[in-house]
A = this chain, B = another copy of it.
């Protein structure tokens, strides 16, 4: 049995929901389900509910058989240690996620962070497939990113590589929740676009459905309706994303750049200003060496597929596995 055969369990822990599923070697979800994360409850309760739900579901699908490995993506996960380190908006504190999963299963467990899981999904089964140097950006509340360099997911010496959301694109610029200033995600993310809209004096309430808060969706509506300030929000956000991408291209030269997340429903409103404003920020030899694409996967499934792909790489000896010691030095290749 090679690493591409059989099913693996992919789990994509989020602040609100935790989808999971059994994925075959072709990237097809043979079984999928979703739990509320219940961020105010401790981790063991989430895992107990998850394994109970999986067991219940599989009782009706005996033909599927048992999975061969578990891949899991989580906010603030560190693949080098196997721990999750004080994820924002979840009450766990710092916990040994790999250890907790191993207490409930004999299967090998492979952990990475949520942005990397989404990146692995797009790389393996979406807009990044077939490329060996890929940057995947996920736009949501913040800006997450995952990097594939030379055909390997990058974790770096600390395990935290790929924080493109916190590179500085405007010295002394907007204050970020992280405590730094001018971070890319203060301009390019759901919150960043709304800050820009507010700075331009754009009132999005007329485009909100009853009870709906202003969001990138309402901004998109306003742009489609011809509001020039809404178009300007996309123009300015595209300029900032172009700054961030020019930096990433000069450093890593990815051949494929994939932008994912709900905001990309605005499509070319977001991407056209980037495509136009990026080349003048590049050294000549980099122009024309990349393609800038929207993600192809359903955002609710990209993380599950990516976590499963990470587990499959683990079975092939190509993923890091945390020892669960929490020392940060115990990483080993499987």
The reply to whether B157 and A289 contact each other, CB–CB distance below 8 Å, is yes
Stretch in contact with the other chain, from A194-202, A227-235, A279-287: A279-287
Partner-binding segment picked from A116-124, A203-211, A252-260 = A252-260
CA distance A223 to B166 in the complex (A): 34
Taking the complex as formed, is A85 at the interface, i.e. its CB lies under 8 A from any CB of chain B? yes
Q: CB within 8 Å of B: which of A115-136?
A: 131-133
Chain B residue contacts of A159, Cβ below 8 A: 253
Q: Say yes or no: is A155 at the interface (Cβ < 8 Å to chain B).
A: yes
Q: Which of A12-20, A64-72, A243-251 forms contacts with chain B?
A: A243-251
Report whether A85 and B285 are in contact in the complex, using a CB–CB cutoff of 8 Å.
yes
Number of copies: 2
Of A53-61, A144-152, A214-222, which binds chain B? A144-152
Contact B171 A243 (CB under 8 A): yes
The range of chain A's interface size is 35 or more
Q: Which of A133, A168, A253, A289 counts the most B-chain CB atoms under 10 A from its CB?
A: A253
**A253, B290: Cβ atoms closer than 8 Å:** no
Known: A154-B252, A289-B157. A247 touches B168 (CB 8 A): yes
Is residue A164 within 8 Å, beta carbon to beta carbon, of the partner chain? yes
- Does A162 belong to the interface (CB within 8 Å)? yes
Decide: B132 and A157 in contact? CB cutoff 8 A: yes
CB distance from A184 to the nearest CB of B (A): 9
Q: Does the CB pair B150–A133 fall under 8 Å? A: no
Question: A275 at interface (Cβ–Cβ under 8 A)?
Answer: no
**In the assembly, what is the distance between CA of A147 and CA of B157, in Å?**
13
> Across the interface, do A131 and B157 meet the contact criterion of CB distance under 8 Å?
yes
List residues of chain B with CB within 8 A of the CB of A226.
Answer: none
Whether B160 pairs with A281 at a CB distance below 8 angstroms is no
